[in-house]
Chain A
Amino acid sequence: AQSVSQHNHHVILSEAASLELGCNYSYGGTVNLFWYVQYPGQHLQLLLKYFSGDPLVKGIKGFEAEFIKSKFSFNLRKPSVQWSDTAEYFCAVQSRAGNKLTFGGGTRVLVKP
């Protein structure tokens, strides 16, 4: 069975600070990887995804993530956050053998103005 672990439950930082959210997964086969964001009161939106190719993936709103296969990790980064990045962020893994998405527990990010 696949599982996903997000290291931080809550992160508080100031505007212009850099953000890095950790995500590690457990699965023996080939996977697709995703980061979703949920702004307060809104539904899930896809930030970025990795299917194959370049392990450094760029998404919307200046976010990027790096897939490190040897570490089973897919960490999310943003060089300079804004107040509007306040949200909850979810890492998710999907086995190539099926459609099921397995989510991490989420990380709540609060950006102070």
Chain B
Amino acid sequence: EAQVTQNPRYLITVTGKKLTVTCSQNMNHEYMSWYRQDPGLGLRQIYYSMNVEVTDKGDVPEGYKVSRKEKRNFPLILESPSPNQTSLYFCASSFRTNLYNEQFFGPGTRLTVL
């Protein structure tokens, strides 16, 4: 089954404790992206990757890191989480074409930073 998976689905942590949220897709998509969802703000892009070893900042990259060592995986790293990073996080992927690049979303990771 074609899908985007994220782990963990729920995470409660404390300020300053490094964490990684994994994202994996099995559709051979070049493009992958991370979003955070906050009430009233919709989804905002954190980082994206156009292909292996190619990553770039989105609209709200502060406090986050990413890596793209393999095509299928795009982990999101919070080196020193803070309470303002409490949010619902979505990973997405798509083919890298200029026209019909519908994005597929993972199930989401709800993160609480105390």
- Interchain nearest-CB distance for A3 vs B (Å): 11
Q: How many residues of A contact B (CB 8 A)?
A: 26
Contact A106 to B98, CB < 8 A, known contacts A43-B105, A99-B48, A101-B45: no
- Interchain nearest-CB distance for A50 vs B (Å): 11
Chain A, residue nearest B41 (CB):
A105
Contact A99 to B31, CB < 8 A, known contacts A9-B40, A44-B90: yes
Residues B43 and A90 in contact, CB atoms below 8 Å apart: yes
User: How many contacting A-B pairs (Cβ < 8 A)?
Assistant: 57
Residues A46 and B102 in contact, CB atoms below 8 Å apart: yes
Residues A43 and B90 in contact, CB atoms below 8 Å apart: yes
Chain B, residue nearest A52 (CB):
B99
The 8 A-B residue pairs with the shortest CB-CB distance in the complex, in nearest-first order: A103-B42, A103-B43, A44-B105, A43-B107, A105-B42, A99-B31, A106-B42, A43-B108
